[in-house]
Structure 1
């Protein structure tokens, strides 16, 4: 592939990296943390790693019709601290967010403060040294941290999601800095998320979902799969009562200690989905118990709301350290207004071929 090298972005001058950081901070081009200055050489190196020319179209934001070029994505990845070999993962994630069903404009502009969560599957996880075990949601891997951070810098500088402007979040949540996890496929009794969502076994892929703050659960006192799921289900019900009652995707992240219990009992991911589908529901009248009596009676109070339109709305991910009965529920932004999107990671670049 011939990669053209002319960049469209203006060239700025700075004395050194510290001066460049101050320039970016002053102009609101960063998330408040230091950045790697996106020099022309670095940007071109990242484009080469992805096998893309600067003007290549990665996607179009569906509402404002903003054209997203490979150059803009590469700049965000450099700034976030990525390595060039992360680019195929970054490109796949941004393509996912540009799908109309993801609702990028809506979940960026909403006062609810949602942000993208990325789950990575396939051989690329190990090739890039991604973390899926200890501290799976936090600081344990450069790849996890910087791929996730690229999404935020992309939303800021390419989509225009500046706080107080397009981004109208009341609070937001820490995952808006970065939220990227890898599934622990090697220590899971189940098929990977990407395979469940239709991709071939062994395909490197990303699943991107717009989530509000994750809800950690803990149950270490039982070996009964149903009892464990009752705890996860309670977290979902709490979200429905205190945040949003609307059905859509939820992400259930299950640690090894719980996975072992499910495996010993012969429970598949589908078994987990079907049981959770039945318990994750609330009656409208239950809003009264959480201070929402003013709206509970506006419709039939006996009406039942389910968390999922069908069991398949529940996404199940194996991740987390080997000890501790701590799992998590990652709730959706706004039901079916924003759905999880899964994309394969392109094999067109040399970096992607090496990683897979």
Structure 2
């Protein structure tokens, strides 16, 4: 799609060849880049599971005619629009059970019980922070729907959020609208899902859990704000199987991860948001999308030199096809996340290590054999054109020289292009020596951070000029 988008932007007509399972995702990608209704030549099945003979036959017998039609016939920009309720329409009425069944039938909820978003509830939710309900923050790139304070609040009421959470939700909506984040990729087939990370005074002021069970549901702020994100993606961004969620498996809804600000202050480390230009005292929401995660349990050792190899091994173990974001689907955009419990962070700090020291050590230890890296970005995933070796990629300037220190296929190479690519957060039970690692999806939901503005809004204040 991106090649077609570049061609169309230059005034050159195009047709994109896609497999049948990617049709709605292709439409969302085109819409997200300002080109809705681009012509598609749809092939049956999936090319990765077809022999060369079957693929060539499908191209000759099916794709060619569709390409010619796409280039010569008028473009039909989507089907007739499906009527949707407007913001103040009564979409459902009756008993709680009847409202629930109506929402289920229309796909407006996540299958769990919810609080009906009556006009009174939504009005009251917004009134606390005095925002203009009809302020439009932007247009959802994957669906074309307006993103308003009202739409944010409707889904927040459904999720069970508190009015005090609204500034966090607005920051999340702004991230989803940021082209650098790429919300139109939220339904890609590998099923990566967003993780919201809160740092700053909001962690304690709004009751986010940063201790035991930091990534488990059950704590009100973490759970409801995390649920809001999935509902908002569903109802505003079209994150449904009928629209553009094409995850093969997907992940369970992720609760908000809150950093342990007290522990960070004690050891003199900055929060994860500091990697994106913010200070320790700033209220910040940081988001990225992750494919998979794993626990690094019972970390043993009393010094950094003893602990780093185990943490690095965890990061290497969860890195698979995602390495195509080192070179391929994205260049130098793979940024895995390491979450360490406060006791591990204190051990590093007691030895005089900064976060950058930890990153540098991880860069040296989080490595895999070159042959495995090359298979993951080429032979096994089929996502990097040409299947070039790392030596060839380094010679062409696509990856750093450290990836090509020799031609030995068993040499160990890094999983990121630079130590700064390791994201590190501190959270979890302060008395347990465990860590958690997550593999991120590169530019398909890239690391993005926004300030959380909890001041009373002046949207509805009249100015005198």
TM-score w.r.t. structure 1 length?
Answer: 0.87
- The answer to whether 1:323 aligns with 2:407 is no
1:85-164 mapped onto 2 (5 Å cutoff): 85-106=164-185, 108-163=186-241
Change (3 A) 1:191 1:78: same
Higher RCO (CA 8 Å, separation ≥ 6 residues): 1
With 160-169 and 54-63 compared, the bigger mean Cα shift is at 54-63
Equivalent in 339, 349, 355 of residue 269 of structure 1: 355
What is aligned with 2:3? Answer: none
What is aligned with 2:440? Answer: 332
User: Structure 1, residues 310-345: CA drift from partner, whole Å, max 9, x if none?
Assistant: 322222111000222211112112x24432111111
What is aligned with 2:449? Answer: 342
- CA shift at 1:219, angstroms? 4.0
- CA shift at 1:237, angstroms? 1.8
Q: What CA distance in whole angstroms lies between the structure 2 residues aligned with 1:295 and 1:162?
A: 26
What is aligned with 1:45? Answer: 124
- The answer to whether 1:72 aligns with 2:179 is no
Equivalent in 365, 379, 388 of residue 299 of structure 1: 388
Q: Is the 8 A contact 2:109 2:231 kept in 1?
A: yes
Q: What CA distance in whole angstroms lies between the structure 2 residues aligned with 1:237 and 1:79?
A: 39
Q: Is the 8 A contact 1:134 1:140 kept in 2?
A: no
Equivalent in 254, 257, 262 of residue 181 of structure 1: 257
Q: What CA distance in whole angstroms lies between the structure 2 residues aligned with 1:295 and 1:196?
A: 30
- CA shift at 1:61, angstroms? 3.0
Task: Specify every segment of 5 or more residues in structure 2 that has no aligned partner in the other structure, as ranges.
Answer: 1-85, 327-333, 394-402, 404-412, 458-465
1:11-50 mapped onto 2 (5 Å cutoff): 11-50=90-129
User: Structure 1, residues 145-178: CA drift from partner, whole Å, max 9, x if none?
Assistant: 011111100010000110353100011111xx23
Change (3 A) 1:300 1:23: same
Change (3 A) 1:325 1:67: same
Equivalent in 205, 209, 229 of residue 308 of structure 2: 229
With 97-106 and 42-51 compared, the bigger mean Cα shift is at 42-51
User: Structure 1, residues 284-328: CA drift from partner, whole Å, max 9, x if none?
Assistant: 4125898x8667993226563643343222221110002222111
Q: Secondary structure at the match of 1:125?
A: helix
What is aligned with 1:167? Answer: 245
Change (3 A) 1:12 1:240: closer
Q: What CA distance in whole angstroms lies between the structure 2 residues aligned with 1:58 and 1:47?
A: 15
With 128-137 and 163-172 compared, the bigger mean Cα shift is at 163-172
Q: What CA distance in whole angstroms lies between the structure 1 residues aligned with 2:350 and 2:282?
A: 28
Task: Specify every segment of 5 or more residues in structure 1 that has no aligned partner in the other structure, as ranges.
Answer: 1-6, 351-356
- The answer to whether 1:216 aligns with 2:324 is no
User: Structure 1, residues 232-263: CA drift from partner, whole Å, max 9, x if none?
Assistant: 22222223336544232222101022112212
What is aligned with 1:354? Answer: none
Q: Is the 8 A contact 1:59 1:67 kept in 2?
A: yes
Q: What CA distance in whole angstroms lies between the structure 2 residues aligned with 1:300 and 1:196?
A: 31
Q: What CA distance in whole angstroms lies between the structure 2 residues aligned with 1:306 and 1:50?
A: 47
With 75-84 and 259-268 compared, the bigger mean Cα shift is at 259-268
Q: What CA distance in whole angstroms lies between the structure 1 residues aligned with 2:206 and 2:450?
A: 18
Q: What CA distance in whole angstroms lies between the structure 2 residues aligned with 1:200 and 1:56?
A: 29
- CA shift at 1:112, angstroms? 0.8
Q: Secondary structure at the match of 2:236?
A: helix
Q: Is the 8 A contact 1:55 1:69 kept in 2?
A: yes
Aligned pair count reads: 340
With 177-186 and 47-56 compared, the bigger mean Cα shift is at 47-56
What is aligned with 1:4? Answer: none
Q: What CA distance in whole angstroms lies between the structure 1 residues aligned with 2:290 and 2:216?
A: 16
Q: What CA distance in whole angstroms lies between the structure 2 residues aligned with 1:288 and 1:315?
A: 24
Q: Secondary structure at the match of 1:209?
A: strand
Equivalent in 420, 424, 432 of residue 312 of structure 1: 420
Q: What CA distance in whole angstroms lies between the structure 1 residues aligned with 2:379 and 2:178?
A: 37
Q: Secondary structure at the match of 1:342?
A: strand
What is aligned with 1:199? Answer: 278
- CA shift at 1:201, angstroms? 3.6
TM-score w.r.t. structure 2 length?
Answer: 0.68
Q: What CA distance in whole angstroms lies between the structure 2 residues aligned with 1:289 and 1:324?
A: 36
